[in-house]
Amino acid sequence: RIFRIFCCHDRPDSTSGEYPVSRWVELDVTPRRILLASTPVGPLGSGIGGGVELTLHNLVYGLGLQGHHVEVVAPAGSLHVGERVHQVKGALQVSSQTQARDAPIEMPSGSVLAAMWSTVSDIQDQFDAVINLAYDWLPLYLTPFMRVPVLHLVSMGSLNDVMDSALADVELELSGRLAAHSMAQANTFPDPAMFRIVGNGIVTERYDLQTRPDAEAALGFVGRISPEKGLEDVAELSARTGRVVRVWGMMQDEAYWHRVAIDHPDARLDYRGFLPTDELQAEIGRCAALVMTPKWVEAFGNVAIEAMATGVPVLTYDRGGPAEIVVDGVTGFVVPADDVDALADAVERIDQIDRAMCRQRVDAEYSSLAMADRVVTW
């Protein structure tokens, strides 16, 4: 397929107000058949897979718009995405983030991970490439034995010594097969240079720009309710500023939620459950800002670009992927990690941020098509 791309200057002529033509560019894009292997920790649509689920959905969409044929292998019970979802039954894998760094690699009896990669092996010859989105040892080990190229979009920072070794082995034998979402994520590994940085993207058409918050001007928090997300700092921020914080996300650790509430009796936390994208984006857009207080290195931070797509500024710690997404003073504020005082100061400066600029940043850098371009180049 030949695409003729109309390119113009990024500023209009000062006299006519029109955008003068710079050139025409022709791109020869060969449609590919691509198989995406999802995370084995839960079905697509369950929320258990966290950001991997959103990444997969949006990558399917962007690649599809470019004319590529995309199918998915995922645990049984997954939502339909792409041309086809190969539903695989089996026992779900325990997430690596809950395991100690020196934990051995384990798979449950009747593992869905093993069954998924048996399926990948069976159908691989129907595809030009396989992209693995799971942070697991088995697909890394199998990579050199597959007949088609297997690439790995790594979804987490360094968490496990055995995984670090397996990733290094892939790079040593088949250089170029590894990608990460952010430089901060890559820097958690012994050799950051083994990763191509591809960022992430969302289907921006599903997000509506809201030029002002609602009357309550509440803050927002989106993420799994679990300790690594740092909800206790959000509660402290609420107590100090008197702001309501609307909380969305899967209740992964209910004991942790109750502990945060008990430890911060003056916090005004309003838990609103786990919502699908269309409902969530409408709710986020009513907030004055999104707060991100990760206690670990987030690989990227999809909720940051989701919020910005609705015009909502992001307040984040200078830790992990979110700090690379937010342009300090332009699309939000980046403050020193674990500094709630600095967060409280940033809350007072929210009105300095142009909400339209937040959306423009996402359109330019984090659309599903921009993400697909980076992945296809990889």
pLDDT tens digit string along 239-264?
A: 999 999 999 998 989 999 999 999 99
Highest mean pLDDT among 8-12, 103-107, 227-231: 227-231
pLDDT band at residue 126 using 50, 70 and 90 as cut-offs: very high
Q: State the DSSP string of 46-88.
A: SSTTTHHHHHHHHHHHHHHHTT-EEEEEEETTPPP-SSEEEEE
Average pLDDT rounded to a whole number, residues 51-76: 94
Q: How far is CA 204 from CA 152, 207, 354, in A?
A: 25, 5, 18
**Using CB atoms within 10 A of its CB, is residue 308 exposed (0-12), middle (13-18) or buried (19+)?**
buried
Report the C-alpha dihedral over residues 141, 154, 72, 126, rounded to 10 degrees. Answer: -50
The pair of three-digit structure tokens given for residue 95, joined into one six-digit string: 């997430």
Angle at 300 between CA 121 and CA 344, to 5 degrees: 155
Could you tell me what percent of the chain has a pLDDT over 70?
Answer: 92
Separation of CA 208 from chain center: 19
Neighbours of 194 (CB within 10 A): 20
Average pLDDT rounded to a whole number, residues 168-191: 96
The pair of three-digit structure tokens given for residue 55, joined into one six-digit string: 């990444």
pLDDT at residue 29, rounded to an integer: 64
pLDDT at residue 23, rounded to an integer: 44
**Using CB atoms within 10 A of its CB, is residue 69 exposed (0-12), middle (13-18) or buried (19+)?**
middle
pLDDT at residue 25, rounded to an integer: 43
The DSSP symbol for 212 reads S
CB 89 within 8 Å of CB 112: yes
pLDDT at residue 3, rounded to an integer: 53
The pair of three-digit structure tokens given for residue 103, joined into one six-digit string: 């934990």
pLDDT at residue 51, rounded to an integer: 82
- How many residues in the chain? 378
| 21-61 pLDDT per residue, tens | 444 444 446 899 999 999 999 999 888 887 899 899 999 99
Residue 196 to residue 192: CA distance in whole angstroms: 9
Average pLDDT rounded to a whole number, residues 210-235: 96
Residue 75 to residue 279: CA distance in whole angstroms: 25
CB 320 within 8 Å of CB 183: no
Angle at 100 between CA 337 and CA 182, to 5 degrees: 45
Mean pLDDT across the chain: 91
Say yes or no to pLDDT of 17 above 90. no
Amino acid at 296: W
Average pLDDT rounded to a whole number, residues 193-210: 95
pLDDT band at residue 296 using 50, 70 and 90 as cut-offs: confident
Task: Please state the pTM of the whole predicted model.
Answer: 0.82
List the one residue out of 168, 171, 177 whose CA is nearest residue 150.
177
Q: Cβ contacts of residue 123 below 8 Å, gap of 6+?
A: 35, 86
pLDDT at residue 44, rounded to an integer: 93
CB 335 within 8 Å of CB 170: no
Average pLDDT rounded to a whole number, residues 100-125: 94
| 315-363 pLDDT per residue, tens | 999 999 999 999 999 999 999 999 999 999 999 999 999 999 999 999 9
